[in-house]
Chain A
């Protein structure tokens, strides 16, 4: 099989056995990127030259030493809101078009420690605000399964790069579904870890109480492998949790799901759910039962409040976080301004795109005097109720299964004029962020027109091992993850 088609774990095996060198790996991916990138447009910035240099150095080193680390020589794509020292990090915004971070995010430092290879930085909705990559200042990425459709977002470039075999694995970030929704749209695996499981240091902040970095990969084993490297406490992120990191690869060993109690929330199977998605997800749930899981109907009664809560809290936090982009210390500065206030106003006018401005406006509004209690306070209280729904459900079940998205990938331009409709496309992923839970999206079928459909498994806090194990057992029993798009 061609190198670019291999999963991370399979490529790793070949590399460890000396069957393929690091330079050969980068060459294979450079060739693949050359073939499809002009159509997919997953990358904002490529780093092939430095990848070749690093790969060559690694091959020289390995003549003396043995390969020991799991991600050594593995070619990654990184969402362009994760800081990489010396490599531009733009957040797909004009505001940061020239920004070169002076330090690495903690997740990048951990990957570097493994001697991973950086192929490039991937496209996103500007500052991770969006569900389609159409809000990128550099133009949208395309869905490898249908180039007229969106790859999802905001980590759309990362999901498209994995689906198109333009990298072996990628990192994304997930604030309201930004890893899982694009993974579902592109037919790959996307894992959002528990809030606090992975350090956010060096992730450009959008909504700090919701943001979390996670892997986007070709299969569940690869997700377990990458999570094992990036997870763990970090003194540089005071919200990162000091909880031991289990061996996620070991958790996959158990192949059946006997005694696992799986909850099916009826609120996720209502009007608005595409019939083909409904069908595929219900078939997947039956498969979990065949594997030994005990199914149980559960209720998450406040599910329909999640989008409203999210768009108050996330925009409020964003309006505060994005105040730092003022043209003073880094990023864009507007020219010919008459005083400091004018410099702020014009810099932010020129630097931010429409959706980012809209969210800053909404967030500022809900925090402003007279509206704080009615909107922000109310949303925080309903967030508590949503958390209570999950707490109650997890007393009865060990994991919860839902569709990842209400529909397969939509067409470019289909929702870009109607912000509320775009927001509602995240309806199945958002409540997980509000409750800080881990969740994974895995391929579970295709629509008649050949678009991937995603299944979402949600676990208790810090029980990534349980959702990975269930997702892996499902994946072993099916072949959806082995299908590859024909890019044309």
Chain B
């Protein structure tokens, strides 16, 4: 698989990653190389083979719907990059008209 610089830009935007010009070139080359290695998987016939998502066969695990002690506000906010009152401070999302 040949990954282009354009592909890298598209994927970087999906991943919310700002990548520099030199990183774009390096990633295009390295991702091409790695995906070419991955394509050896086409040697294996997998028609009708169930995909494995988890090995131990667990399905949904439920707990009783009871209130448990939450993380106290002060503890939860201790690592906040910016605090506003009892919440996380973030930039404005909606534009003013």
Contacts of B80 in A (CB 8 A): 329-330
Distance between Cα atoms of A261 and B37 in the complex (Å): 35
Q: Does B81 contact A209, Cβ atoms closer than 8 Å?
A: no
Whether B44 pairs with A385 at a CB distance below 8 angstroms is yes
Return A237 CB to nearest CB of chain B, in Å. Answer: 9
Contact across chains for B7 and A102 when beta carbons are under 8 A apart: no
How many residues from B make CB contacts under 8 Å with A?
51
Kindly list chain A residues whose C-beta atoms are within 8 Å of the C-beta of B33: 419-420
Q: Using a CB-CB cutoff of 8 Å, which residues 299-322 of chain A contact chain B?
A: 302, 304-305, 307-309, 311-312, 319
Q: Is A349 an interface residue (CB 8 A)?
A: yes
Query: How far is A34 from B17 in the complex, measured between Cα atoms in Å?
Result: 40
Residue tally, chain A, CB below 8 Å to B: 69
Asked if A102 and B11 sit within 8 Å, CB to CB, the answer is no
B63 to A235, Cβ gap below 8 A? Answer: yes
Write the nearest CB–CB distance from B79 to chain A, whole angstroms. Answer: 4
> Is B56 an interface residue when CB atoms closer than 8 A count as contact?
yes
**What is the predominant secondary structure among interface residues of chain B facing chain A?**
loop
A327 to B79, CA, bound (A): 11
Contacts of B30 in A (CB 8 A): 358, 419-420
Is A330's CB under 8 angstroms from B79's CB?
yes
The A interface is mostly helix, strand or loop, or mixed, namely helix
Whether B34 contacts A420 by the Cβ 8 Å rule is yes
In contact, A209 and B12 (Cβ under 8 angstroms): no
Residue of A302, A344, A364, A420 near B11 (CB, 8 A) is A364
Q: Which residues of B contact A379 (CB under 8 A)?
A: 38, 41
- Chain B residues with CB under 8 A of A384: 46, 49-52
Q: Which residues of A contact B37 (CB under 8 A)?
A: 307-308, 311, 420
Give the CA-CA distance A434 to B90 in the complex, in Å.
39
Query: Given contacts A330-B79, A383-B51, A385-B49, are A343 and B91 in contact (CB under 8 A)?
Result: yes
Q: Contact check, A329 vs B16: say whether CB atoms are below 8 A apart.
A: no
Once the chains are docked, how many angstroms separate the CA of A366 from the CA of B1?
12
Partner of B76, one of A102, A337, A362, A377: A102
The contact of B46 among A331, A344, A382, by CB within 8 Å, is A382
